[in-house]
């Protein structure tokens, strides 16, 4: 594990973030991304396009192993550093299973010894995704559609991200009264992928159907492994959303500085300037909470879980506001594919509902801070 | 009998009875598959043809354009269009496809065109046989509409049009365009002239723009030496800005002359963006922990929208009582802003309530209400941007109603 | 009962509103009101000042009897007309027991024959106020501090408006399992008034303490009489608040047109102009809902109660926004007694919490429109 | 040990130990009755005297002004004031009354005054013996600060001051004022000069203004031929605007030099406007139907405020990491806006939660938290208006950080 500097974001972390920013700007500038995803949207047949060779390169750089323990062949960077990287991923609206593979790593790290083979696969460069949600996107044992009985998985996991871009799924299933976790190959017998038709042009979402899939639990304490890992996962997603929101801010500011109406640049008008400032304030709120949450997790601080709820709640509100105002302030052009705002708009609306929306996170936070709601 | 109904004249009441009967006698058969939700979303000729047929039938029955003079294709009635609108809406009649023609071109022609043009152009607007589009906006003239750069140069009895219009809904179906063009570079406002331009002439290229939703729906229109007759000019040379204000007044619903229109009714099928549909959605939609209708926070947000929506319809009655108003235009000029932001905020709430399932697109079998809501949300920006952005609407309200100094 | 015109607001109503506007502008312009209430605030001893002679004049004009049935010697104007009058009262921020006397009339009208003596007193020009609330401002039987037993009232009614400006109280008390209503003279034996020290400079609020006060129930069905009367009461209060909010709007607009900063009138800036427009929109929402609610009540329409909840919920939000923005947009002067905004600011904050705030009314509306919350 | 603490230097850690010990050894005795909640609310001499005594003691112990050079009454330390602030705050030390002197006058004097003035004026600021007030705002110069009309006319070695300043907090206790005056009518910005003015001289009339709360707290100050020595001028004639910017930079907390201050701690007694106090309030406050803490809507609103508050404190750590910022001033310049609007919104939520009891004033026995909340709400507008309104703050952020064109 690399040494933390005093403040929680060391030179290594700064270099990683810088490297990512440069690589993505060069390899997947928004006009290239747009050309790639726009082609697909017209007919919507087959999997949504992404740049798999860029992904391989990211794997070679070690990014997909950043959250794996060193003991499992991973890099085990501080979460602050990984969150910094995710901000750049968001800024580029990059399609691909990085967030999901990191999320799976974080859960596996909570599982213990039985997760070793799975971690080895990830350390070797495989990608994985969480297959843990019910049809409403929640992951409580009693609601899950997937059930484990007599050594077999049956049912359907919903809202699985990066469906056809990963080699493995970390599956949550009802097992008696509890929730157990399983490691299932995407190509295993009885596994079938059903693609969702989604609004977001950068993601690949769908359902994984299990029909008598032979499996062995990684852990019977699935709920507590998920609970332990999710604060870090929320934080990474929040960071990614902050990065995408920042792209919208900067792009809209740029447009407001050049676009002239009434012989003035748009940004001269307070009706444009002040909402942009409000957006900046919201983004900064999210970014600081992300950093604070990541620091708290790296430190093992008690407040970490609260901060993660705060970060994701903030990210959701920031994303909604960023998406809304950047289309509006672009005016007519923002309503078309002539500019690229819509790609981020859709990606942010997607991220907003993933793994809990703002209101859900605030309700969880309230339970912790105020105490439970009386029944 | 409610007071609102008591305010109708006997002529109106008779007309209502007539409309209701006609609509009963002429039930609308099944529509072609995949009908769009509104006129601006029409992309297929089959859908357009279906809608045009029904518009024509209703016009022949006297339900469309009925407040216009008989010689222009109307019925010479007074305040009867609102009755026809109500009855058509209630009967679930198909929406009228010629939205630009009916809502913008017709009143402008009525006020500013020659007698000859009125007799020529108005009847096919009402019948729906000639679809219209609007040629105001340009890449450099959005909110700053007067910045129009497309030129009209006089050449004898003709005008030569060159330029580039954008966001032109229905251009590919249109026979006519209302066109704002520059005839004088020396004065921003007084240098504009208003024309009706034949879209069937040479010198016009139409190229579709992709909307945020991924659908094509409006267009760019390029004019290259389009030649039009001087008789297609409305009002005087240099008065284009004033004429355009007539158009916008009607587009924003702020005039006394009611536009023929059919408001899609919520039939409990969740097909409309209104509070009732949202409440129905809330009964099943959930993120985590039960339906939104049982969540006090969503209940509160739903009631906030319901209150805004109900207040908007309550404006109609109060607008008729001078003693309860401080400025004659104060309610009318809010119309566009209230409608467009209410739809946007309603769709946004639906996205929140549907949680992870809000990610699903139109066409996905598991999408709530068939994927209506994310598209309603995206499309809502059309209304908060077009015909004067919400920011411009607030300027107008602040300046014209409150009397605050002009921002520009 | 006067004839309704077709649209619900006839000539008589318009004349009443006009007359009120003129009388109040002449007799209680804001500088006079301010001089009157400002003097009191310095020491806060004794009852807060008001113009009792103006009140007598209003009584002589019949205003306090507008909601009384003709059969009881009242004028029985349509609620639309009375709401129009209340808008002018709000515009003038007028201290005095008009709203409260009207509210009591509306409840008495629901009570029936036993209320005749009380209505006769009001028709004769007396003023009255509701003494129905618990310490939190609610009026459910189980929470009330006042109890009726063996012919005697004991306990304390809270948040009684216009405490020392009225001659009678309409009292709600627990009576067994139910809520009964009583008519009690302010000067009766065992009645004691305790004045609250309140923020609003125009009202006189306090508690009425009952110690073995001899009383006979007006009705045992007190809850249903209150329930039946409250939609009209909420509508009148909402109208009053809309009038006060409109005063703030117009006053702030005027200031924004004259005050110069950066060589421009303040109102030239969109950061000032757009909030004022938003305020106008909110006020119009409230005013239209008030009128629609009043029409519905005059018509006996089923939607009346829904509309009354909407009107008061809207009025509360409008009031909060009006108070907040008018101080802010006045800048430094708005923060002082050099301008009169603060009088309306305080009056509106008070009205906002009276007889249910925005959230409470929306929760009641939701119960009616969506259905009850499952326990 | 948290990372935040690990970031302190050994000098800072030693200093923290010293502060903590001193504060333990010097417990603050009981205060006079009716102590105000902050420096700007001080109206009684008795309260002022009590606070001045404690400020002096802390200065003598080296806790105030410690990052300033020794010759100006400081200790010549580095980044130690924040330590002293934290420790004083934690220990519940009384707030420092000389807020204008410490936060505005001292850094301005340090950067712009002559050596002689620094030695003369700075030590009694830190000791609290000389209270300062600010003479920037005028009836016609609020947001448009450069519109100052008070004049300074040169007369040999003296300046004659005439004019009218407003919103002058603490004027009646002050020995000095930082004064912005016009020395040239021909140029709005370059016509200003910055002085320090003795409030004990002839030619000054102080007249109290009543605040929205009904309390007096600040003043109007009238100058009638006040004569001051040229040595009281800061920097050059005509550079007043630049000097004032130094003052405002420090007032808005956007500079590196930390102001000595004591942040009142929430002692569970609901005396502070922060999320913790609100949550405590919510456990008892109710409108109808149970405590607010059991109402999902209030819980959600409470969490929204808690999140804003926590993010604000999280800014401090991120501000130290250049790689996590896009613009060096982006977080610092938000400080004033975030603080003032958070307090305002928090107080507004408290009013909502307390329902009918929110009508009760300070002094009413039944008022929640002694009537804190309505007064906190009213006073909050002081902070959203003074020292650059929230509207001006948004202009500054948009222009300086985002690089948008200047609105003025």
Q: Say how many residues make up chain C.
A: 375
Do A232 and A364 fall within a single domain?
A: yes
Do A360 and A230 fall within a single domain?
A: yes
Note the pLDDT of residue C76. 94
> With helix as H, strand as E and coil as C, how does chain B read?
CCHHHHCCCHHHHHHHHHHHHHHHHCCCCCCCCCCCCCHHHCCCHHHHHHHHHHHHHHHHCCCCCCCCCHHHCCCCCCCCHHHHHHHHHHCCCCCCCCHHHHHHHHHHHHHHCCHHHHHHHHHHHHHCCCCEEEECCECCECCCHHHCCCEEEEECCEEEEEEEEEEEECHHHCCEEEEEEECCCCCCCCCEEEEEEECCCCCEEEEEEEECCCCEEEEEEEEEEEEEEHHHEECCCCCHHHHHHHHHHHHCCCCCCCCCCCCCCCCCCCCCCCHHHHHHHHHHCCCCCCCHHHCHHHHHHHHHHHHHHHHHHHHHHHCCCHHHCCCCCCCHHHHHHHHHHHHHHHHHHHHHHHHHHHHECCCCCCCHHHHHHHHHHHHHHHHHHCCCCHHHHHHHHHHHHCCCCCCC
Question: Which CATH class, in words, describes the domain spanning D3-98+106-129?
Answer: mainly alpha
**Residues with Cβ within 8 Å of residue B309, at least 6 apart in sequence:** B274, B275, B342
The residues pairing with C180 across neighbouring beta strands, listed in sequence order, are C173
Note the pLDDT of residue D42. 87
**A323 lies in some domain:** yes
The overall average pLDDT reported for chain D is 91
Note the pLDDT of residue B268. 45
Do A20 and A74 fall within a single domain?
A: yes
Note the pLDDT of residue B29. 81
- For chain C, where are the E strands, in sequence order? 128-131, 147-149, 152-161, 168-175, 178-185, 191-195, 205-214, 217-219, 260-261, 264-265
Chain A residues touching C269 at Cβ < 8 A = 270
Task: Please give the DSSP secondary-structure letter assigned to residue A167.
Answer: S
| Whether the Cβ atoms of residue B152 and residue B195 lie closer than 8 Å to each other | yes
Residue D265 pLDDT > 90: no
Confidence of residue B4 (pLDDT cuts 50, 70, 90): very low
* Residue of D388, D404, D307, D361 whose CA lies nearest to D141: D388
Chain D residues touching C199 at Cβ < 8 A = 359-361, 374
Cα C157 to Cα C136: distance, rounded to the nearest angstrom: 11
Percent of chain D, pLDDT > 90? Answer: 78
Note the pLDDT of residue A43. 65
The overall average pLDDT reported for chain A is 95
Residue B265 pLDDT > 70: no
Do C104 and C132 fall within a single domain?
A: no
**C374 lies in some domain:** no
- Of D210, D344, D361, nearest to C197 by CB-CB distance is D361
Cα B367 to Cα C208: distance, rounded to the nearest angstrom: 58
The architecture (CATH level 2) of D275-401 comes to Up-down Bundle (1.20)
Query: Is the CB of C327 less than 8 angstroms away from the CB of D407?
Result: no
**A309 lies in some domain:** yes
* CA distances for C65 relative to C99, C124, C155, angstroms: 11, 9, 30
Do C205 and C290 fall within a single domain?
A: no
| Whether the Cβ atoms of residue B255 and residue B249 lie closer than 8 Å to each other | yes
Cα A229 to Cα A111: distance, rounded to the nearest angstrom: 10
**A286 lies in some domain:** yes
Do A39 and A21 fall within a single domain?
A: yes
**A112 lies in some domain:** yes
Do A267 and A141 fall within a single domain?
A: no
**Of chain B residues 102-161, which have a CB less than 8 A from chain A?**
137, 140, 142-144, 147
Residue D266 pLDDT > 90: no
pLDDT in tens, D281-296: 999 998 767 899 999 9
**A176 lies in some domain:** yes
Residue of A nearest to C272 (CA): A270
State whether residue A269 sits within 8 Å of chain C by CB: yes
State whether residue C262 sits within 8 Å of chain A by CB: no
Chain D residues touching C359 at Cβ < 8 A = 287, 297, 352
Confidence of residue A2 (pLDDT cuts 50, 70, 90): very low
Task: Please give the DSSP secondary-structure letter assigned to residue A19.
Answer: H
User: Stretch D365-388: mean pLDDT, rounded?
Assistant: 93
**Residues with Cβ within 8 Å of residue D120, at least 6 apart in sequence:** none
Note the pLDDT of residue D4. 40
State whether residue D307 sits within 8 Å of chain A by CB: yes
User: Stretch A110-133: mean pLDDT, rounded?
Assistant: 96
Residues of chain D with CATH 2.40.110.10: 133-251
ipTM: 0.93
State whether residue B310 sits within 8 Å of chain C by CB: yes
The architecture (CATH level 2) of B133-251 comes to Beta Barrel (2.40)
Q: How far is B171 from chain C (nearest CA, A)?
A: 34
Note the pLDDT of residue A7. 77
Residue of B nearest to D297 (CA): B297
Lowest mean pLDDT among A40-49, A124-133, B1-10, C89-98: B1-10
Cα D96 to Cα D259: distance, rounded to the nearest angstrom: 11
User: Stretch D182-199: mean pLDDT, rounded?
Assistant: 95
Note the pLDDT of residue A375. 66
Confidence of residue B326 (pLDDT cuts 50, 70, 90): confident
User: Stretch D250-261: mean pLDDT, rounded?
Assistant: 82
Confidence of residue D408 (pLDDT cuts 50, 70, 90): low
* Residue of D146, D126, D105, D154 whose CA lies nearest to D55: D126
Structure tokens at B332: 């009318």
**Residues with Cβ within 8 Å of residue C20, at least 6 apart in sequence:** C63, C85, C88, C89
Note the pLDDT of residue D9. 87
Range of the domain at C236: 224-369
Query: Is the CB of B381 less than 8 angstroms away from the CB of A198?
Result: no
Lowest mean pLDDT among A269-283, B28-42, C215-229, C247-261: B28-42
Q: How far is A346 from chain B (nearest CA, A)?
A: 9
State whether residue D407 sits within 8 Å of chain A by CB: yes
Note the pLDDT of residue D252. 74
B80: Cα separation from own chain's centroid: 19
Give the three-class secondary structure for C151: coil
Residue D383 φ then ψ, to 5°: -75, -30
Query: Is the CB of B288 less than 8 angstroms away from the CB of A320?
Result: no
Chain B residues touching A140 at Cβ < 8 A = 288
Residues of chain B with CATH 1.20.140.10: 275-401
How many of the other CB atoms lie within 10 Å of CB of A43? 7
Whichever domain contains A23, its CATH number is 1.10.540.10
Percent of chain D, pLDDT > 70? Answer: 96
Do C143 and C213 fall within a single domain?
A: yes
Do A364 and A251 fall within a single domain?
A: yes
Interface test with D, best of A311, A359, A366 (most D CBs within 10 A): A366
pLDDT in tens, D47-100: 999 999 999 999 999 999 999 999 999 999 999 999 999 999 999 899 999 999
Domains identified in chain C, total number: 3
Note the pLDDT of residue D287. 73
Note the pLDDT of residue D177. 97
pLDDT in tens, B71-128: 999 999 999 999 999 999 999 899 999 999 999 999 999 999 999 999 999 999 999 9
Lowest mean pLDDT among B67-76, B260-269, B302-311: B260-269
Note the pLDDT of residue A42. 61
Note the pLDDT of residue A3. 40
Do C152 and C35 fall within a single domain?
A: no
Out of D130, D251, D261, D309, pick the active-site residue: D251
Residue A166 φ then ψ, to 5°: -125, 160
Note the pLDDT of residue C43. 65
Confidence of residue D35 (pLDDT cuts 50, 70, 90): confident
Structural domain ending residue among the three candidates A66, A89, A123: A123
Cα D398 to Cα B292: distance, rounded to the nearest angstrom: 38
Residue D5 pLDDT > 70: no
Structural domain ending residue among the three candidates C106, C123, C140: C123
Chain B: touching chains (3 or more CB pairs < 8 Å): A, C, D
**A99 lies in some domain:** yes
Tell me whether residue D129 is one of the annotated catalytic residues.
Answer: no
Do A235 and A364 fall within a single domain?
A: yes
User: Stretch D13-35: mean pLDDT, rounded?
Assistant: 91
Q: Whole-model pTM? A: 0.93
Note the pLDDT of residue A1. 35
Interface test with D, best of C261, C317, C322, C325 (most D CBs within 10 A): C261
| Whether the Cβ atoms of residue B147 and residue B181 lie closer than 8 Å to each other | no
Lowest mean pLDDT among B134-143, B375-384, C217-226, D337-346: B134-143
Do A151 and A196 fall within a single domain?
A: yes
Low-confidence ranges of chain C (pLDDT < 50): 1-4
**C375 lies in some domain:** no
Note the pLDDT of residue C79. 98
User: Stretch A282-307: mean pLDDT, rounded?
Assistant: 97
Residue B272 pLDDT > 80: no
Structural domain ending residue among the three candidates A100, A123, A146: A123
- For D202-317, where are the E strands, in sequence order? 204-210, 216-229, 233-234
User: Stretch D171-184: mean pLDDT, rounded?
Assistant: 95
pLDDT in tens, A56-88: 999 999 999 999 999 999 999 999 999 999 999
Whichever domain contains A329, its CATH number is 1.20.140.10
| Whether the Cβ atoms of residue A314 and residue A238 lie closer than 8 Å to each other | yes
State whether residue B33 sits within 8 Å of chain D by CB: no
Q: How far is C40 from chain D (nearest CA, A)?
A: 10
**Residues with Cβ within 8 Å of residue B256, at least 6 apart in sequence:** none
**Residues with Cβ within 8 Å of residue B107, at least 6 apart in sequence:** B246, B247, B250, B255, B257, B259
**Residues with Cβ within 8 Å of residue C155, at least 6 apart in sequence:** C144, C145, C146, C147, C173, C209, C210
Cα D359 to Cα C218: distance, rounded to the nearest angstrom: 30
Task: Please give the DSSP secondary-structure letter assigned to residue C14.
Answer: H
């Amino acid at each position: 594990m690399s040494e933390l500097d005093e403040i929680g974001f060391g030179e290594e972390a700064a270099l990683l973030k810088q490297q990512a920013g440069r690589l993505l700007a060069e390899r997947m500038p928004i006009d290239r991304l747009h050309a790639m995803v726009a082609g697909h949207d017209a007919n919507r047949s087959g999997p949504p396009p992404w740049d798999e060779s860029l992904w391989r390169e990211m794997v070679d750089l070690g990014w997909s192993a950043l959250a794996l323990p060193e003991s499992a062949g991973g890099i085990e960077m501080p979460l602050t550093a990984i969150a910094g990287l995710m901000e750049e991923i968001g800024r580029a609206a990059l399609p691909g299973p990085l967030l999901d593979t990191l999320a799976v790593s974080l859960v596996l790290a909570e599982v213990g010894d039985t997760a070793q083979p799975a971690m080895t696969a990830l350390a070797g460069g495989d990608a994985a995704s969480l297959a843990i949600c019910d049809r409403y996107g929640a992951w409580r044992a009693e609601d899950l559609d997937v059930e484990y009985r007599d050594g077999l998985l049956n049912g359907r996991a919903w809202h699985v991200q990066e469906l056809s871009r990963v080699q493995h799924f970390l599956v949550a299933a009802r097992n008696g009264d509890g929730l157990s976790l399983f490691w299932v190959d995407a190509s295993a017998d009885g596994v079938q992928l059903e693609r969702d038709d989604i609004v977001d042009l950068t993601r690949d979402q769908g359902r994984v159907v299990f029909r008598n899939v032979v499996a062995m639990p990684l852990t019977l304490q699935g709920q507590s492994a998920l609970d332990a890992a999710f604060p870090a996962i929320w934080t990474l997603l929040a960071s990614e959303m902050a990065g995408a929101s920042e792209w919208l801010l900067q792009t809209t500011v740029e447009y407001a500085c050049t676009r002239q109406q009434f012989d003035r640049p748009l940004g001269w008008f307070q009706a444009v300037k002040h909402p942009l400032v409000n957006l900046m304030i919201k983004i900064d709120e999210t970014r600081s909470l992300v950093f604070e949450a990541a620091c708290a997790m790296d430190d093992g601080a008690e407040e970490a879980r609260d901060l993660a709820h705060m970060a994701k709640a903030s990210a959701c509100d920031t994303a909604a506001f960023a998406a809304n105002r950047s289309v509006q302030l672009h005016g007519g052009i923002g309503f078309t594919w002539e500019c690229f705002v819509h790609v981020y708009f859709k990606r942010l609306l997607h991220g907003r509902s993933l793994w809990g929306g703002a209101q859900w996170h605030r309700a969880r936070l309230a339970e912790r801070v105020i105490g439970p709601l009386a029944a | 009998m409610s007071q609102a109904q008591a305010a109708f004249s006997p002529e109106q009441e008779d007309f209502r009875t007539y409309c209701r009967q006609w609509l009963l006698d002429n039930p609308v058969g099944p529509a072609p598959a995949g009908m769009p939700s509104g006129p601006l979303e029409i992309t297929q000729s089959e859908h357009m043809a279906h809608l045009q047929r029904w518009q024509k039938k209703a016009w022949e029955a006297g339900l469309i354009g009925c407040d216009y003079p008989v010689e222009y294709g109307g019925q010479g009635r007074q305040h009867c269009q609102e009755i026809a609108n109500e009855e058509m809406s209630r009967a679930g009649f198909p929406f009228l496809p010629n939205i630009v023609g009916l809502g913008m071109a017709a009143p402008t022609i009525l006020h500013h065109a020659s007698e000859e043009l009125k007799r020529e152009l108005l009847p096919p607007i009402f019948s729906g046989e000639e679809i219209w589009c609007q040629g105001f906006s340009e890449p450099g003239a959005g909110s700053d509409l007067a910045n129009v750069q497309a030129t009209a140069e006089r050449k004898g009895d003709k005008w030569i049009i060159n330029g580039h219009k954008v966001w032109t809904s229905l251009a590919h179906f249109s026979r006519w365009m209302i066109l704002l063009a520059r005839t004088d570079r020396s004065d921003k406002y007084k240098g504009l002239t208003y024309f009706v331009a034949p879209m069937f002439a040479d010198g016009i290229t139409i190229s579709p723009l992709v909307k945020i939703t991924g659908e094509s729906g409006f267009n760019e229109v390029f004019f290259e030496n389009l030649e039009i007759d001087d008789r297609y000019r409305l009002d005087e040379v240099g008065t284009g800005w004033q004429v355009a204000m007539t158009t916008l007044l009607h587009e924003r619903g702020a005039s006394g002359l009611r536009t023929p229109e059919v408001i899609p009714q919520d039939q409990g099928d969740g097909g409309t963006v209104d509070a009732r549909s949202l409440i129905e959605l809330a009964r099943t939609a959930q993120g985590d922990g039960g339906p939104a209708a049982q969540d006090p926070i969503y209940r509160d947000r739903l009631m906030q929208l319901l209150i805004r929506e109900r207040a908007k319809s309550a404006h109609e009655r109060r607008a008729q009582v001078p003693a309860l108003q401080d400025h004659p235009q104060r309610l009318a000029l809010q119309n566009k802003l209230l409608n467009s932001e209410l739809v946007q905020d309603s769709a946004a709430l639906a996205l929140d309530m549907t949680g992870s399932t809000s990610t699903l697109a139109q066409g996905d079998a598991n999408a709530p209400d068939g994927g209506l809501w994310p598209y309603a949300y995206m499309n809502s920006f059309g209304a908060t941007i077009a015909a004067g952005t919400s920011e411009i609407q607030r300027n107008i309200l602040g300046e014209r109603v409150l009397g605050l100094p002009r921002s520009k």
